[in-house]
Amino acid sequence: MAKKKPSKPYASYPLYAHAGGVWAKKILGKVHYFGPWSDPQGALERYLEKRDYLHGGLEPPVAADTIGELVNSFLQQKRAHLETGDIAPATVSEYKIACDAILLHFGRHRPVASLTAADFSGLRVALSKRRGGGKPLGVVTLKRRLTTARMIFADQRRECRRALKAPPQRLIRARARERGRLLYSASDIRTLVNAADPHLKAMILLGINCGFGPKDCCTLPVNEIEDGWHNYARPKTGVERRCALWPETLEAIEAVRGKRLVFNGRVWDRHIVAEKFGALCESCNVTNHGFYSLRRTLETIATTASVSQAAIDHIMGHSRNDMASVYRQQIFDQQLQECANHVRAWYLGTLTLA
C-alpha cells in the first residue's frame, strides 16, 4: 500500500510531495528532487542552494538527481585524475567496484534526494558483501569501500556520514590480531625461491630484497636497473626509491629480462602474480600470507639493521609528512647498501634474529 503524501509544512513552502517519497519542484519543464518527505527542512535548504542555477537554466555545481548521474559524475572526475597522473589505475578500479555495488543496491534511476539514513545503513550492509556472495569482506577492504561511498555521497546527503563511517580502529586491530603476523621466515622464502619458475623466482627476490609488490614487479622497466641498483619510483604513489640488488636478485632478473620491461607485461599482472604465488606456497607447504607480505617481512627485518628509518623508508618508497623529511636532502648509498646486506644475511641464514 502506497504511503499517503504529506501536506506542505506551510502554505508558502515552494516544493511539493512527489510520489517517489521526495519533495520536488518542476523547473523549466524538468522535475528536480531535493529530499525525502521526512526532512522537509533539509529539502528546502537544498532547493535554496540550487534554485538560482536551476531557474536560470544552468547546472548547479553538483548536478546529480539520480544515483546513476551521481556515480557517473564521480567516475568521470576520477578518470580525469587518472589521465593527469594524480591517481593510479588500480585506484580507479577500486572506485569502480564500489560504484557498481552502489548501482546494484539502489538502482541507476533512484533519486538521490529520496535517500534516507536507513537507506545508507542498508548500503553499508551491501558494501560489506563480496560480489556474487560468499563470506563478508575483510575489515580493511570494507573501510576502503565505505570511504569511496562517503566520497560519492558526502556533498549530496549529510545522512551518509554516520551510516557509512569507517570501521573503528579497535575492530581493525582486533582483526589483525586474529590474522596473526604476516611474516615469512628466511627458510620459507628460500624454499619458495628454489621451487619457483624463473619469473616468479625473480619477483620473490625483488619482494624481499627491495620491498616490491606484484604491481611493482609487473611494471618494472629495464632501464630503471643500473650498476646493481634499481631506481624505480613506486607506481602507486610516485615516491622515489633506490635499493642495492643482491647478486641472487640480479642473476634472477638477467634470466628473464625483457626488452622494455623486466617481466613480460602482456603475460603478468598483479592478479596472476597473486594466484601463482598462492599456488606455489600451497605446493611448498608454506603458509600463504600473500605476496605483499614479502614487503612486510623486509620492513620488519630491516629495522634490526644499524641504519636509519629514513634509509629503510627510501628502500620501501614510504613518505612521511614531517619536518625531518622536508629538510633531508639525500639518503646516502652507504646506508642503503648496509641495509640490503643485512637483510640478505638474514635471508641466507648467516644472520639469526632472536
Instruction: Give the chain's end-to-end CA distance (angstroms, integer).
Output: 70
pTM over 0.75, yes/no:
no
Per-residue tens of pLDDT for the chain, all 354 residues: 557 888 898 888 999 998 878 888 998 888 888 888 888 888 888 888 788 778 877 766 555 578 888 888 888 888 877 777 777 787 888 899 899 989 999 998 888 878 888 888 888 888 888 776 667 778 888 888 888 888 888 755 555 666 677 667 776 677 667 777 889 999 999 999 999 999 999 999 999 999 999 989 999 999 999 999 999 998 877 789 999 999 999 999 999 999 999 998 678 888 899 999 999 999 999 999 999 999 999 999 999 999 999 999 999 999 887 888 888 888 999 999 999 999 999 999 999 887
pLDDT of residue 325: 81
At CA 149, angle to CA 138 and CA 21, rounded to 5?
Answer: 125
> Shortest CA distance to 74 belongs to which of 102, 53, 48?
102
Q: Indicate the angle between helix axes 139-153 and 117-127, nearest 10 degrees.
A: 140
Evaluate the CA torsion angle 213, 218, 224, 229 in order and state its sign: positive
Per residue in 7-32, pLDDT (tens digit) is 898 888 999 998 878 888 998 888 88
| Residue 260 confidence (pLDDT) | 92
**pLDDT computed for residue 264 by the predictor:** 83
pLDDT at 332: 95
Q: Which residues neighbour 351 within 8 Å (Cβ) at sequence distance 6 or greater?
A: 342, 345
pLDDT score of 308: 94
